[in-house]
Amino acid sequence: MGLLTTGLPLSWKEILPYVDYIKEHGIAQFLAIYNKAKHREDNLFRWGDEIEYTIVKFDHESKKVRVCLRGDEILKQLQAQAEVNDMMGSDNKTLWAPELCGYMIEGTPGHPYGALLACFNMVETNMIKRRKEVQKFLNDDEALMSISFPALGTLDFTHPPTKIDMKNSFGKSMWFSDEVIHQGHPRYTNLLRNINQRRGEKISINVPIFKDEKTPWPFTEEFECPEAKKNAKENHIYLDHIGFGPGCCCLQITFQAINMEEAAWLYDQLAPITPIVVALSAATPIFRSYLADVDSRWDVISASADDRTAEERGIKALKNSKFVLDKARYACLSCYIHETSQPYNDIKVVYEDKIYQKLIDEDVDEHVARHIAHMFVRDPLQVYKERLEQDDENSTEHFETIQSSVWNNMRFKPPPSDNQSIGWRVEFRPTEVQLTDFENAAYCCFVVLLTRVIISYNLVFVTNVSTINQNMRVSQKRDAVLNEKLQFRNKLVRCEMTPEGKRKIPDKNEPCFETAEMSVNEIMNGDGKEFPGLIPLIFQYVDEAEIDVNTRDTITQYLTFIQKRASGEISTLAHWMRDFVQRHPKYAKDSHVPDETTYDMIKTMNDITLGTKECPELLGDFKSKTERKVTTAVCRAEAAIVAAHEKSVVS
C-alpha cells in the first residue's frame, strides 16, 4: 500500500515542517523523470498483476474461523527462498510483499508478461504456483484465500488474540487492534498514526446495512465511545479503523505502454471501464459480520484512508487548511490527462497553483501538469528521517511518497529513476479480488485484452468525469451487475487522426459525446442495437490475430466466463455469499452473520478455491487450459520482439 523504504518514519507533527520542502523536491524529481522520458518511444508492452491474500485459521472444534497474523513470518520464509534462488541462479517465478495487515500478503509474477497473446496460458498457472508456495508454510488448519474477510472487527477475530486499547493505540478503535497491522515494517503502523493525526480525529466509516425480514429497524448500536455516538449513522454498519478498508483484498493490473502519450490515452479510456469492473467483480457484501446493502469495498476503503481535516471536508470554515477537498485521497479520479479527453473534464479540480505553474514553466504538458498539481494538494504521510535529503536527479522518493499514497481507480506511473528498462505505465486498480485463480486470471485477461482493443481500434470510451464518479457510486450497490444502469457510450466511436498522425481533439457537440443508461450486460455483451459490447469487440480482435489453438481456448474460456457473469447466468461472489448466509440454518434473518455461518461459508469457499468442491452457480463448468510455460515457438517469437526492441534502442 505505497512506498516501502528503510529508516525511522516521522510522525505527522514531525513531518509538518518539511511538507513544502518535500513537495518542492518531489516536483523536482518528477521533472527529472519527465525530461528524461517524455520522448521515449521504444518500450515493449508488458503487464503484470498483484493479488492480495488473506491467511485464515480454522477452529474446527468451535466452528470459528479467524484471520491468522503469520503474514510477516511467512513473508520472510518466501523472501529467504527467493534469495536462495538468486544465489543459485534460479529464476524466481513469483515475488512477495507485505500488506497493511498482519494476516495479509501480496503476490505477483516474478517477471512481467509479454505482448504475445500466448502469455495468457501462463497467468493462471502462476497464480496457482503462488498459492502452493505459501501453502508449504501453512499449518493444517490454515489456508491462503483471496478474499476480504467478512468478520473483521468482531469479537476474537484474530489468531493469536489481540488486545483492544482505545486509550493508548494509534487507531483508537473499539474493535480493531493496532496489533493486527503488519508489524514487520514501521510504515504501516505509521500510516495509521499519521492519517488519524492529520485528520484530527479517528477514522469514521458508515456502510448501509441490508434490511432483512427481522433486522431491527431503525438499526442502531449502543456505543460508549463519544466519537462513535457522534459519527455512527442510523441503519448503517459503523467502522472506525483503517484496517477495515485496506484490510480487504483486491486485484490490481499494471500495463507498460510504448510511450507517455499511449499511457495517457489508456489511463483515460480505461477510467470509464472501472465502475463496470467494480460491479462485475463484486465480492465484499459483509462488514463486521453484518450483511451490507453494498457489494464492494470501494467506499469503505476510501473512508478508511481519509486524512482530510474537518476544514478540508467542509465541516468547518477554512482557517489552517488551504483547500476544501471533495474527495478522500482514496477515490475515483478527478481529471483526464490526454489532450483529446479535455472536453470531458467537467468537474472542478483543485490544485496547487504554484506547482502547476512550475510544471508549465518547465514545458510539462498542461494536462499532465494539472494532474500532478492536483495530486500534490495531498500532504506526504510517510517520511523517513534519514531520507529527507535526496538527489533529485536520481531519486524519486519524495515524488513517490505522495504519488503512491493517492489511491485512485486509475494510476498514471512515470518510469522509475533506477531502472531504465521500465517505461510509462498505467495501473488499473478497482477490481475486487476473486475467490479462485481461474476467476482472477479471467479478469486480468479481459482488462489486458481490452487495452489491446482500445489501442488497435483507436476506440473512445471517455465520458464526463462526473459520470464516472456517479457510476462508481452506483456500481457498488447490492447486485448492481443485475439491477443497476450505468451511463456509458451507446455507440462505437473511434478517435480521428490528424494529418500529422496525432489523435484529434473532439468537439463536445459532436454526436460521439452521446451516452445512455446501460446495464452491465449490455455494456459487456452488446445492447442489440448500435453498441456491439466489449467482449464481442475483444473476440473480434482475437479472431484477427494469429494464435494457436490452446491460446484461443484459454482466452475463450475466460471471456465466456465474464460474459456469463455480466448476464447474471453466473453469480458474483458477493451474491453467492449473501445467498449462502440467507440459506444457513444459524442465520436469524436479522442481517447479523453468526460465527458458525461465517465458518461454514469460509470453509466452503476454501474448498471451492482448492478445487475439492464444485460450484457451478459461481464458476459455471469452465475448465481452463493453462500452461506452466509457453511453447518454444512462442518463446522464440517473444525473443525476436525483444531483440528488435534492443536493436532500435542501439540505433
Cell 482472477 sits at which residue?
440
Is 12-535 assigned to CATH 3.30.590.50?
yes
Using the predicted structure, report yes or no on whether residue 641 has a pLDDT greater than 70.
no
Using the predicted structure, report yes or no on whether residue 374 has a pLDDT greater than 70.
yes
pLDDT of residue 421: 84
Cell 427481522 sits at which residue?
214
Kindly tell me the sign of the dihedral angle through the C-alpha atoms of 131, 282, 151, 306. Answer: positive
Non-local CB neighbours of 639 within 8 Å, separated by 6+ positions: none
CA distance 515 to 485: 12
Q: Do residues 315 and 179 lie in contact, with contact meaning Cβ atoms separated by under 8 Å?
A: no
Cell 483526464 sits at which residue?
336
Please give the residue that has the higher pLDDT: either 401 or 7.
401
Residue 426 C-alpha cell reads as 498505467
Using the predicted structure, report yes or no on whether residue 47 has a pLDDT greater than 60.
yes
Q: Do residues 92 and 86 lie in contact, with contact meaning Cβ atoms separated by under 8 Å?
A: yes
Q: Which residues pair with 105 in a beta bridge?
A: 53
pLDDT of residue 638: 52
pLDDT band at 623 (very low <50, low <70, confident <90, very high): confident
Residue 558 C-alpha cell reads as 475466460
pLDDT band at 417 (very low <50, low <70, confident <90, very high): confident
Cell 477490481 sits at which residue?
431
Residue 272 C-alpha cell reads as 470509464
Non-local CB neighbours of 161 within 8 Å, separated by 6+ positions: none
Q: How far is CA 559 from CA 122, 270, 434, 574, 614, in A?
A: 16, 18, 15, 20, 20
pLDDT of residue 651: 41
Q: Do residues 274 and 433 lie in contact, with contact meaning Cβ atoms separated by under 8 Å?
A: no
Using the predicted structure, report yes or no on whether residue 634 has a pLDDT greater than 80.
no
Using the predicted structure, report yes or no on whether residue 327 has a pLDDT greater than 80.
yes
pLDDT band at 177 (very low <50, low <70, confident <90, very high): very high
- Maximum C-alpha span of the chain: 73
| Share in percent of the chain as helix, strand, coil (round to 5) | 45, 15, 45
CA distance 631 to 643: 18
Collapsing DSSP to helix, strand or coil, 43 comes out as coil
pLDDT of residue 647: 46
Non-local CB neighbours of 264 within 8 Å, separated by 6+ positions: 337, 338, 367, 368, 412
CA distance 182 to 75: 11
Please give the residue that has the higher pLDDT: either 498 or 146.
146
